[in-house]
Amino acid sequence: MTQSLQNPVDRDRNIPSTSAPNNSTIAIKKLYKYYGKTIALKGIDLDVNRGELFGLIGPDGAGKTTVFNILGGVMEATAGEAQILKLPARDARNYTGYLTQQFSLYPDLSVEENINYSAGLRLVPENQLEMRRSKYLKLMQLDKFCDRLAGRLSGGMKQKLALCCALIAEPQVLLLDEPTTGVDTIARREFWDILAGLTAQEITVVVATPDLDEAERCDRVALIYDGQIQQIGTPAALKAALGLQRLVIRTPELVKTEQALLPLVNQAQIADVATYGDRIEVLVKDVTQGEILVRDRLTHESKTSDDKIDIQSEKPTLENVFTTLLRKKGGVPEFVPFPRSQTVASKPNRKQEITQNPAIAICASNLNRIFGAFHAVVNLNLDLHYGEVYGLLGANGAGKTTTIKMLCGLLPISSGKISIAGETGNLRSAQLRQKIGYMSQKFTLYNDLTILENLQFYSGVYGIPPKQRQEKIRWVLSICGLEKQEHLLTKQLPGGWKQRVAFGASVMHEPEILFLDEPTSGVDVLARKQFWQLINDFARNGTAILVTTHYMNEAEQCNRMCFMVAGRKVAEGSASEIKSAQPGQLFELRVGKLQESYDRLREHLEPWRVSIFGDRLHIVLDDPQQELPQVEALLKQANLPLIETEPIAFSLEDAFIGEVQRAGGAPP
């Protein structure tokens, strides 16, 4: 990871110069694309500079993939210009690497064979292939897995191999369309550090991502919606231009607090109210006046005593910018309540808060699962209450899916005890299955059936009374935005829409216990926001929900969570509890030479402690008083300027990576 790329461009080729005054590598002017009567792009203007890490952010259907297809030379624009290196995009394909959303590797070929095949397609000279292959495999930490079949790699390793294949021709421009979908948190951070290293060598990288935490790491981002660029700038500039601040409220009465504050949205000081697992976040125009208004509202309207209200001011996020913009454009879908036919009277209602010792829905004691010589789950203890959202978080291969399959009765346990909805014997009984909803990691609907046929099938499987089926099917179509399109074949839907249909199918029968295995993988930020509104609504009505996710910002929605490493639980608690329990301190460093400083510090600190975030470095130190002067000395010795050092709060991603690495790291 510390190795720098050398001479990333084949200087013997006649490559157009990018030495123009504006240093522009990609130039898009008045770009239009029509699909029949549908206008996908509506006169886009965009410039991307040489060596820039540029993010294209927007919901599904906004036009991101169309832009990538035009830049990649896959399709022609209807009107306007798209130039790369001052050439029409189609003529610049020899200088462009394009990583599409779909998996672009051959699973039955090895790592080395996939690279060799890509090199052959791109006419890489034989006398340069070995050097390049060795360089990129080492950069991606794949040099020890040359003979492994691509189909047997983890999600993160697959994406790094795909990036190797895109880089083997040493392009000047990389186009990456949602490259980290399905990639775990640790591999995702490594992937983005690699991208930062490429841009340091003046490779231009344009990336689309559904994760706005990732977008924070870009030099600049463009927000695209309805085929038009809405805003463009650095993440810091976009957040500053928002004109809003964020108040984080922690109180034992979250639902009561939310209900008191929601009527104030778009009135006076308050622009938005959002509930997360253990807190409420409020966007306000002025911190002081906003806090006064919030406290007054809670103490008088909801009768909450002031000593139970903890309010802290934090900087807004890029997600705040994105959702505020789309709310103004009418792009945020309205919440559609689930048509319930029954109340979960036997369980504590989430509206009354999860308090002292509510009823337990899931209990696992000393749970083990062994596959031959491989111990996949080791002495795992879990308890999950009705009305609670519990997150099971871990890198790929940590044992999350195996745990869910055992709890669902889909996989026999090796040892231990399980209780599901009070049942300790037959976890595969028809009676118990009617109480459980399960959305698997892989898409579980039938591609060759229409959306309606899939929903009718699951209605029958779950025994939903005929009188209720139509209403619940209409609800699923409504939350998916697929009204009047129910006769489409499911395989025709983009991944995000498929996930929404699968979620709807898994909850139509009103389960008491819901298992969601990476339900939002590949889903855009707006759809994820809607997903979590629905998940929280089910929890508030008494459903116990166990969810896995690789997105740490949405893991914040969980009431409690645990981190798993190699089948073991290494941390448990609310997001706030886990972050506050982290040893040491996280620092943000503003440095004069970003990549050189990053490489220097990783030579002397454990690599996971150092990462690039946009134009800053983040480092984790266990003993800041002793270690921070050492960091400053290391940079000074290498003549690397350190402009500013600021202690900042741990994010959940930082906490997760720290816990996993201290426990022995993620499996390859």
Whether the predicted pLDDT of 588 surpasses 90: yes
Please state the separation of Cα 218 from the chain's center in Å.
15
Beta bridge partners of 24: 49
Residues 6+ apart with CB under 8 A from 21: none
Whether the predicted pLDDT of 11 surpasses 80: no
Structure token digits, residue 520: 């939002």
Mean pLDDT, all residues of the chain: 87
User: In which residue are the tokens 């951070």 written?
Assistant: 189
- Give 554-623 as a DSSP string: HHTTSSEEEEEETTEEEEEE-HHHHHHT--SEEEEEEESSHHHHHHHHHHHS-GGGEEEETTEEEEEESS
Question: For 182-191, 280-289, 398-407, 592-601, which range has the lowest pLDDT when averaged over its residues?
Answer: 182-191
Q: Which pLDDT belongs to residue 347? A: 45
CA–CA dist 35, 76 (Å, integer): 11
By percentage, how much of the chain surpasses pLDDT 90? Answer: 56
Reference 523, options 60, 46, 38, 103; nearest CA is 60
CA–CA dist 399, 375 (Å, integer): 9
Q: Which pLDDT belongs to residue 443? A: 64
Whether the predicted pLDDT of 104 surpasses 80: no
Radius of gyration of the chain measured on its C-alpha atoms: 25
Q: pTM for this structure?
A: 0.85
First and final C-alpha spacing in the chain? 15
| Strand blocks (E) in 85-227 | 87-88, 96-99, 173-177, 204-208, 220-225
Q: Which pLDDT belongs to residue 498? A: 85
Reference 168, options 202, 204, 220, 126; nearest CA is 126
pLDDT 10s digits, 58-85? 888 889 999 999 999 999 999 999 999 9
CA–CA dist 268, 270 (Å, integer): 6
pLDDT 10s digits, 531-585? 888 999 999 999 999 999 888 888 999 999 999 999 999 999 999 999 999 999 9
User: In which residue are the tokens 């505020």 written?
Assistant: 324
Work out the widest C-alpha separation in the chain, in whole angstroms.
77
CA–CA dist 436, 110 (Å, integer): 40
